[in-house]
């Protein structure tokens, strides 16, 4: 998602558009869980309190994010989730009791300083290759979900040899030039193997094996703005 689109959506959500807020949260859910697990260093599910704190922090990030300060939304959200979870752990240790879901860190806003945010941004940027790449991965993940494909399934359908990879790229290129096949793919949200085999004469087995990988390639090719992801497939 381009920065201006994201900022527009955040602005909409701030102004009370609950649908856009809901869409934003849904899109970043895997990312929120990933950050929570990264900070907690253990498997956390949506039924755990830590993930709820992450969600609340993210929701607050939508409300408090200011685009004009030269920071990205993802980074800001990471900072808030991290901070809230640390406060939660401190409080939990102090009280030695489980907190309720409507937990709010005390005096949270006053504790945030620009220096802290800058430091958190630097730490985060050291960890991830690039914030834009994170955004692209989340978007790709969301789009793959529409085709019922999870990232973890793609290893099996990835071509192992360079020759095969090149062949797959040629096939994808041919596929994308065929409007009927592309329309069929968008409409049915699955690879139109029979139609494409009939048109091109490629072997049926190739598609069965590499189908999910080819859909991923097509989605990346369809998004020239995903500059960071596209570097991997070139």
* Spatial separation of the C-alpha atoms in residues 175 and 142, rounded to whole Å: 22
For the CB of residue 151, give the shortest distance to other proteins in the complex, in Å. Answer: 4
What residues between 8 and 37 interact with other proteins by CB under 8 A? 30-31, 34-35, 37
Instruction: Let me know: does 228 contact 132? Beta carbons within 8 Å.
Output: yes
Using alpha carbons only, give the angle 55, 23, 229 rounded to the nearest 5 degrees: 90
Instruction: Let me know: does 220 contact 144? Beta carbons within 8 Å.
Output: no
For 80, other C-beta atoms within 10 Å of its C-beta total 24
Instruction: Let me know: does 227 contact 133? Beta carbons within 8 Å.
Output: no
* Binding of other proteins by 46 (CB under 8 A): no
Q: Which stretch binds other proteins (CB under 8 A): 50-58, 65-73, 146-154, 176-184?
A: 146-154
Per-residue binding letters, 196-225, with other proteins (x by CB under 8 A): -----------------x--x---------
* Binding of other proteins by 171 (CB under 8 A): no
Reported residue count of the chain is 234
* Binding of other proteins by 155 (CB under 8 A): yes
Applying CB under 8 A, the residues found at the interface with other proteins are: 30-31, 34-35, 37-38, 40-43, 124, 127-131, 133-134, 137-138, 140-141, 150-152, 154-155, 158-160, 162, 165, 213, 216, 229, 232-234
């Amino acid at each position: 998602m381009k920065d201006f689109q994201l900022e527009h959506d955040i602005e909409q959500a701030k102004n009370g558009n609950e649908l856009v807020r809901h869409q934003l949260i849904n899109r970043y859910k895997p990312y929120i869980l990933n950050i929570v697990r990264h900070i907690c260093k253990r498997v956390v599910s949506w039924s755990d309190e830590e993930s709820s704190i992450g969600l609340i922090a993210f929701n607050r990030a939508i409300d408090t994010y200011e685009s004009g300060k030269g920071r990205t939304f993802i980074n800001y959200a990471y900072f808030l989730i991290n901070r809230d979870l640390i406060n939660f752990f401190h409080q939990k240790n102090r009280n030695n009791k489980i907190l309720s879901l409507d937990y709010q860190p005390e005096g949270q806003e006053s504790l945030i300083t620009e220096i802290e945010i800058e430091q958190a941004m630097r730490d985060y940027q050291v960890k991830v290759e690039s914030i834009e790449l994170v955004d692209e991965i989340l978007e790709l993940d969301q789009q793959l979900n529409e085709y019922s494909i999870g990232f973890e399934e793609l290893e099996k359908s990835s071509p192992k040899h360079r020759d095969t990879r090149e062949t797959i790229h040629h096939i994808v290129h041919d596929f994308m030039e065929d409007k009927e096949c592309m329309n069929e793919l968008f409409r049915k949200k699955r690879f139109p193997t029979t139609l494409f085999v009939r048109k091109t004469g490629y072997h049926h087995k190739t598609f069965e094996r590499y189908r999910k990988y080819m859909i991923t390639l097509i989605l990346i090719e369809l998004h020239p703005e995903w500059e960071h992801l596209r570097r991997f497939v070139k």
